[in-house]
Structure 1
Amino acid sequence: MVALGGGHGLFASLSALRLMSDRLTAVVTVADDGGSSGRLRAEMDVLPPGDLRMALSALCDDTEWGRTWRDLLQHRFHSQGSLDQHAVGNLLIVALWELLGDTVTGLDWVGRLLGARGRVLPMASVPLAIEADLVDVAAGPEAAPHVVRGQSAVATAPGRVREVRLIPDDPPACPEAVAAVDAADWVVLGPGSWFTSVMPHLLVPELSAALHRTTARRCLTLNLSDESGETHGMTANDHLSALQAHAPELRFDVVVADPTVIEDIEQLQAHCTALGARLLLRQVGVGDGTARHDALRLAAAYRDAFEGFLGDVGTSAR
């Protein structure tokens, strides 16, 4: 299984998928420009390590050893100096990259330290920037878009995202990530910040080509709510429409959604059918009113999704 995304959304899907298999690869967005990651990226000219660290933490061995190292990776310094808010894991990852001279090898070493149930890879071999065209919804449908650059800025800027792009627009994909998608039985996209964590994978040409040609089954996991700023006011159908606009030929086999947060299930069903997908409705939230996925519930939903295709994995013609 290959899971694509970034940040807390990818952490959620990995936390569920790791309960099903250790033959798991995380392919992680590398466009973060804020916080500790942004500072290390600017100072060291490296891939932003934060989302990679989060994915590794999600896959840690569920023993005292694994949990202790996970907690260390996630620990942030609190000081009056330059270490303030740096995550220990970010520093460790960047140090290994500098020592070993290879991004993937460095991540594999951290995975070994954690006893990770799977592998973590960047989606691209170079740091990326996200640029988006935003429109002021209050100004009406004919309002001219304005350009916002940077993942942090796109995630928080008011307005509706009309189009999102990567800079550079033809970045080299991580070869190991492309190979993982080609070899997968299942590819899981989402949940997560739709324009800055989920859809960027569709904009790296070599990775997008692999996602289109793979014989793997494809699962799309929808979010539990819109997000202030990036997807404010967007419905589940709006999320699907945005994805289709950026990858019109991409088809899915199953879409996982929580019925308690869907405004119009019939409309969503029709939209999924147009994508070639079966809509699987399962309660996957933690149930406390927050928009967080429950690992056990999401794993059960994935099992139901995948069981519908047992015996047919990797054989579909596209």
Structure 2
Amino acid sequence: MSKIRIQREARLPDDLRVSRALSAPHLGPRILFFSGGSALNGVSRQLKRYSYNSIHMITPFDSGGSSQVLREAFDMPAVGDLRSRLMALADETELGQPDIYALFSHRFPKEGGQAALRAEVDEMVEGRHPLTKAISQPMRMLICAFLTAFIKAAPVEFDYRNASIGNLILAGGYLSNDRQLEPVLFLMSKMVDVRGTVRAVVDRNLQLGADLEDGRQVIGQRQLSGKEVPPLNSAIRRLFLSDGKQELAAEAVPLSKRNQKLVSQADLICYPPGSLFSSVIANLLPAGVGRAIAARDLPKVYVPSLGDDPEALGLSLADQVDALLAPLLRDAGAASNPDRVLTHILCDLSTSEDATKEVTARTGLPCLRLDLTGDNPLRYDPQKLCETLISLV
């Protein structure tokens, strides 16, 4: 069998491709995102109009907020970003499951008595709470079973303040399924009719680590973000995975065959806006990610964040592209050309021509300056970005 490589010119946006996607989203393209955090949730909500087939590889290495409380209690991967993306992709119409969506999206107040909050969870388990009472059987039974598993395993001192009920249900499902995320993510996707596929890039309880320009080494995602602890005040030189104590070799954390298959099925790969290191590059660290991407002959685009990213301290656009390429080329093989893992950088018109020219001069990769923002110049317009990505497929 012979293979040929076909290239085409793309109009951005391509009205015909956009119209086709809007008319038949169930046949929409399989756009694969390597992401985490909440930066892509607005785009994900918009993307449901164009495709029910998007793929989201999510980092499970968050070490802040309510996800960290669960990690410490159950020695499990972070689930907050996974739940958040599931909710962004869920069918939010009356044709979906609004009652289940409301429960999964419910969050306890930051201030509140522990006894009262625990009693509210008990009410949910017993079916007396309005949020669970509204859910019909057999969904209610399954959800309550997951919450029961959570309560039985939760330490007495578990902190329920600011806890997401969806996260507690995910934790209970994880414990009920031999400490595996994929089964409970699949079930939750079906419960709220998720328009796409959401997976953890690896199903392991690991931490992010970073070597800094000033010689320090830090362990833990929240150390990098600057949200819950003081900023690093030093550029990140290298990111790695850790067991919490020491660095793990990439080969010790392979990309699963099931996730490799998702990469092999994608129509376009996107490294989207978000915290550069903890939300995007973190997903590229497992062994096999670079090789799986390099094996595909399709558009592979980077959409850099707008505004200030505390994790990209002092990094130019070209430096950010270099940081993105580093783990991919290391895994794909030193002889691999950058265009095997990244074909285009999509920038807003607010990005200077000098910045884009520096990227091309350093890497040989084209940078496209497009109108991708709306009223807020520090945020991509979800519709414009979705239609641009759809047009590239």
- How would you bin the TM-score normalised by the shorter chain? 0.7 to 0.9
Q: CA deviation at 1:3?
A: 1.2
* Aligned equivalent of 1:247: 328
* Aligned equivalent of 2:375: 287
Q: CA deviation at 1:87?
A: 1.0
Q: CA deviation at 1:273?
A: 7.0
* Aligned equivalent of 1:155: 225
Equivalent residues of 2:56, 2:198 under 8 A apart: yes
* Aligned equivalent of 1:95: 172
* Residue 232 of structure 1 pairs with residue 313 of structure 2: yes
**Aligned equivalents of 1:58, 1:111: Cα separation in 2:** 11
Normalising by structure 1, we get a TM-score of 0.84
**Aligned equivalents of 1:171, 1:12: Cα separation in 2:** 30
* Aligned equivalent of 1:126: 204
**Aligned equivalents of 2:170, 2:257: Cα separation in 1:** 19
* Alignment CA distance shift 1:71-1:275 (3 Å): farther
Cα deviation code 1:50-89 (max 9, x no counterpart): 1111111121114134555444323220123221011111
**Aligned equivalents of 1:147, 1:302: Cα separation in 2:** 37
* Aligned equivalent of 2:37: 7
Equivalent residues of 1:30, 1:51 under 8 A apart: yes
1:180 pairs, out of 236, 259, 262, with 262
Q: CA deviation at 1:274?
A: 5.7
**Aligned equivalents of 1:107, 1:226: Cα separation in 2:** 32
Equivalent residues of 1:121, 1:174 under 8 A apart: no
**Aligned equivalents of 1:247, 1:116: Cα separation in 2:** 29
**Aligned equivalents of 1:69, 1:154: Cα separation in 2:** 34
**Aligned equivalents of 1:253, 1:20: Cα separation in 2:** 23
Unaligned runs of 5+ in 2: 1-30, 115-158, 227-231, 243-247, 330-335
* Alignment RMSD (CA, Å): 2.2
Cα deviation code 1:15-38 (max 9, x no counterpart): 343332112211111111111111
Equivalent residues of 1:77, 1:86 under 8 A apart: yes
Q: Secondary structure at the match of 1:247?
A: helix
1:258 pairs, out of 348, 358, 363, with 348
Normalising by structure 2, we get a TM-score of 0.69
Cα deviation code 1:152-197 (max 9, x no counterpart): 0012222111111111333132332211001211111121110111
**Aligned equivalents of 2:99, 2:373: Cα separation in 1:** 27
The range that moved more, 168-177 or 50-59, is: 168-177
Q: How many positions carry a matched residue from both structures?
A: 294
Equivalent residues of 1:282, 1:301 under 8 A apart: no
The range that moved more, 192-201 or 9-18, is: 9-18
Equivalent residues of 1:27, 1:120 under 8 A apart: yes
Q: CA deviation at 1:131?
A: 0.9
